[in-house]
């Protein structure tokens, strides 16, 4: 093989390589991939952007701000799908990019009711149907609420026990006769649910929205129980808000498992119990869908069903284990909750019409998310036009975390208004300019298709020592 001939123009070759590399990088950024930093907590804990408090002095001490890789190619080939996490230009201030979850699609009406989302075709008299997140997504959205992060691993805090137990305060409970174990503290949409134990206590909470305490109905219960020879039936009663589920697990696999359903029907599954063999069980209810999964050794029993139920506000939820004869050892259960979607925080209507070519976006942390529910435009109309401008439209944002972005703003003397329009241009207006104007506010909940930039695919930072928690993984 002949030796490679040495270039006669090494400097030019190096410049060409550098130009090509820069062009490739810019091409990837424009057409394929781009990284964004998450500044706020609207998508927490799916995506984190938060200041952390010093646990001793309750002052700001560091933070967690995810870096997200955004796929810009997918939405060039197809339209966004419901439940995807998208990055888009904020319609009322297009110089700002937002990241939210796509929940409402073109050509439908969206209804936010009692923590769930409902939809129907726009302009059709048919009733609303609940929007049900697929199980493949839901498993990533559960927020653990019990055991409380930071508590001892086997502490039954919040559980009330009555009846026949072998002595013991913590650890597994031995039910030796008629006994009840019940979680009496209702599960609410606590702002800090779902955060890693290492930072949960350091998450700041402020404002009425952040301290919402709605009772939730969408829960998942996971536990392990072991029957003993001669044991009776273990009962699990789950009141998922107004929707009860009753599970009966016999200690003998020759007897069937029975499930009483929220629609007052009941089903049976083949028994799987054997004395001395632990049974792992999960009961999950979300978006009016129930899944029950039991496993013991190489045996399992599975039940899944969608329900057509009316939207009812949850005033109470509870989890209760009981047995008449005893003969069971019960490990400390785990409990998770789903996202609880709040209606507009400003008290507006919870029903939204979404025309063709537009989308409705919401943050996973609806207690502290400025999203489609509450976006509001300030519109100034001039007749005659002022400096050639007949109308100004921009974000009506007051008393934000950064006063620089309050819109509009007045100078100290109250003689000049600065107005930032939706394209980011600043306009300075005198009181004389405003005398003949019409000033109105409009709810502006929708994102045009052309403003959607890409699909959030992965979190690749932060990591220790730059962060107290590891934040690497796919975005679901």
Which tens digits make up the pLDDT trace of 103-133? 999 999 999 999 999 999 998 888 999 999 9
Q: Which of 266-275, 346-355, 390-399 has the highest mean pLDDT?
A: 266-275
**Domains of the chain in sequence order:** 37-136+342-372+449-474 (2.10.109.10), 143-337 (2.60.120.200), 376-444 (2.30.30)
Torsion sign over Cα 389, 391, 392, 398: positive
What phi and psi, each to the nearest 5 degrees, are found at residue 403?
-60, -20
Report whether pLDDT(402) > 80. Answer: no
Lowest-confidence range among 56-65, 179-188, 369-378, 452-461?
Answer: 56-65
Alpha helices (H) in 9-105, listed in sequence order: 10-31, 74-77
Torsion sign over Cα 138, 322, 246, 130: negative
Whether residue 229 contacts residue 329, with contact meaning beta carbons closer than 8 Å, is answered with no
Whether residue 159 contacts residue 152, with contact meaning beta carbons closer than 8 Å, is answered with no
Report DSSP state, residue 3. Answer: P
Burial group, residue 55, by CB count within 10 angstroms (0-12, 13-18, 19+)? exposed
Whether residue 451 contacts residue 91, with contact meaning beta carbons closer than 8 Å, is answered with yes
What's the confidence (pLDDT) of residue 312? 94
pTM for the model stands at 0.89
> What span, in angstroms and rounded, lies between the C-alpha atoms of 107 and 125?
14
Report DSSP state, residue 451. Answer: G
Report whether pLDDT(235) > 50. Answer: yes
> What span, in angstroms and rounded, lies between the C-alpha atoms of 289 and 226?
27
Whether residue 453 contacts residue 72, with contact meaning beta carbons closer than 8 Å, is answered with yes
| Residue the block writes with tokens 């009860």 | 244
What is the tens place of the pLDDT at every residue in 63-113? 999 999 999 999 999 999 999 999 999 999 999 999 999 999 999 999 999
Q: Which two tokens stand for residue 13?
A: 């070759």
What's the confidence (pLDDT) of residue 335? 96
Q: Which of 245, 190, 247, 243 lies closest to 217 in space, CA to CA?
A: 243
Q: Which two tokens stand for residue 119?
A: 């939809």
Q: Which two tokens stand for residue 182?
A: 């019940």
- What confidence tier does 154 reach under pLDDT thresholds 50, 70, 90? low
- What confidence tier does 377 reach under pLDDT thresholds 50, 70, 90? very high
Whether residue 183 contacts residue 158, with contact meaning beta carbons closer than 8 Å, is answered with yes
What's the confidence (pLDDT) of residue 153? 62
- Give the angle 370-373-377 at the CA atoms, nearest 5°: 75
What's the confidence (pLDDT) of residue 210? 75
> What span, in angstroms and rounded, lies between the C-alpha atoms of 271 and 285?
22
Torsion sign over Cα 340, 346, 349, 352: negative
Q: Which two tokens stand for residue 116?
A: 């769930």
> What span, in angstroms and rounded, lies between the C-alpha atoms of 190 and 194?
9
- What confidence tier does 368 reach under pLDDT thresholds 50, 70, 90? confident
> What span, in angstroms and rounded, lies between the C-alpha atoms of 382 and 389?
7
Residues in the chain: 476
- What confidence tier does 401 reach under pLDDT thresholds 50, 70, 90? low
Q: Which two tokens stand for residue 386?
A: 């002022």
CA distances in angstroms from 67 to 162, 431, 463, listed in the order given: 49, 44, 10
Q: Which of 105, 108, 98, 111 lies closest to 80 in space, CA to CA?
A: 105
Average confidence score pLDDT of the chain: 89
What's the confidence (pLDDT) of residue 400? 55
Report DSSP state, residue 343. Answer: P
Where does residue 177 fall: left (phi above 0), alpha (psi -120 to 50 degrees), or beta otherwise? beta
What's the confidence (pLDDT) of residue 26? 45
What is the tens place of the pLDDT at every residue in 195-208? 888 888 898 887 66
Report DSSP state, residue 206. Answer: -
What's the confidence (pLDDT) of residue 198? 84
């Amino acid at each position: 093989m002949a030796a490679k001939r040495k270039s006669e123009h090494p400097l030019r070759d190096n410049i060409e390589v550098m130009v090509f590399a820069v062009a490739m990088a810019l091409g990837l950024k424009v057409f394929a991939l781009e990284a964004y930093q998450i500044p706020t907590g609207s998508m927490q804990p799916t995506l984190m952007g938060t200041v952390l408090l010093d646990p001793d002095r309750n002052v700001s001490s560091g933070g967690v701000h995810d870096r997200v890789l955004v796929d810009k190619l997918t939405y060039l080939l197809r339209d966004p799908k419901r439940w995807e996490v998208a990055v888009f230009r904020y319609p009322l201030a297009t110089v700002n990019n937002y990241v939210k979850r796509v929940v409402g699609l073109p050509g439908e009406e969206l209804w936010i009711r009692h923590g769930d989302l409902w939809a129907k075709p726009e302009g059709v008299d048919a009733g609303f149907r609940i929007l049900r997140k697929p199980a493949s997504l839901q498993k990533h959205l559960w927020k653990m609420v019990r055991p409380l992060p930071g508590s001892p691993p086997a502490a039954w805090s919040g559980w009330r026990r009555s009846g026949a137990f072998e002595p013991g305060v913590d650890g597994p409970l031995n039910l030796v006769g008629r006994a009840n174990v019940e979680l009496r503290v209702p599960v609410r949409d606590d702002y800090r649910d779902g955060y890693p134990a290492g930072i949960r206590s350091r998450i700041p909470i402020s404002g009425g929205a952040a301290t919402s305490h709605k009772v939730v109905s969408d829960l998942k219960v996971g536990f392990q129980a072991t029957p003993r020879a001669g044991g009776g039936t273990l009962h699990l009663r789950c009141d998922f808000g107004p929707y009860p589920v009753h599970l009966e697990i016999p200690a003998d696999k020759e007897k069937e498992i029975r499930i009483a359903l929220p629609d007052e029907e009941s089903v049976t599954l083949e028994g799987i119990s054997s004395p001395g063999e632990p049974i792992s069980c999960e009961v999950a209810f979300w978006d009016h869908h129930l899944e029950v999964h039991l496993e013991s050794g190489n045996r399992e029993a599975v039940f899944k069903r969608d329900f057509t139920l009316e939207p009812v506000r949850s005033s109470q939820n509870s989890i209760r284990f009981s047995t008449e004869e005893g003969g069971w050892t019960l490990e400390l259960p785990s409990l998770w909750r789903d996202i609880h979607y709040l209606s507009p925080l400003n008290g507006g209507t919870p029903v939204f019409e979404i025309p063709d070519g537009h989308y409705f976006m919401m943050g996973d942390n609806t207690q502290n998310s400025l999203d489609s529910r509450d976006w509001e435009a300030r519109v100034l109309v001039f007749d005659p036009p002022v400096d050639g401008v007949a109308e100004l439209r921009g974000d009506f944002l007051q008393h934000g975390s950064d006063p620089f972005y309050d819109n509009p703003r007045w100078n100290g003397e109250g003689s000049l208004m600065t107005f930032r329009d939706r394209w980011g241009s600043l306009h300075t207006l005198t009181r004389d300019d405003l005398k003949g104007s019409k000033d109105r506010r409009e709810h502006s909940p929708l994102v045009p298709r052309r403003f959607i930039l890409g699909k959030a695919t992965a979190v690749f930072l932060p990591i220790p020592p730059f962060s107290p928690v590891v934040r690497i993984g796919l975005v679901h």
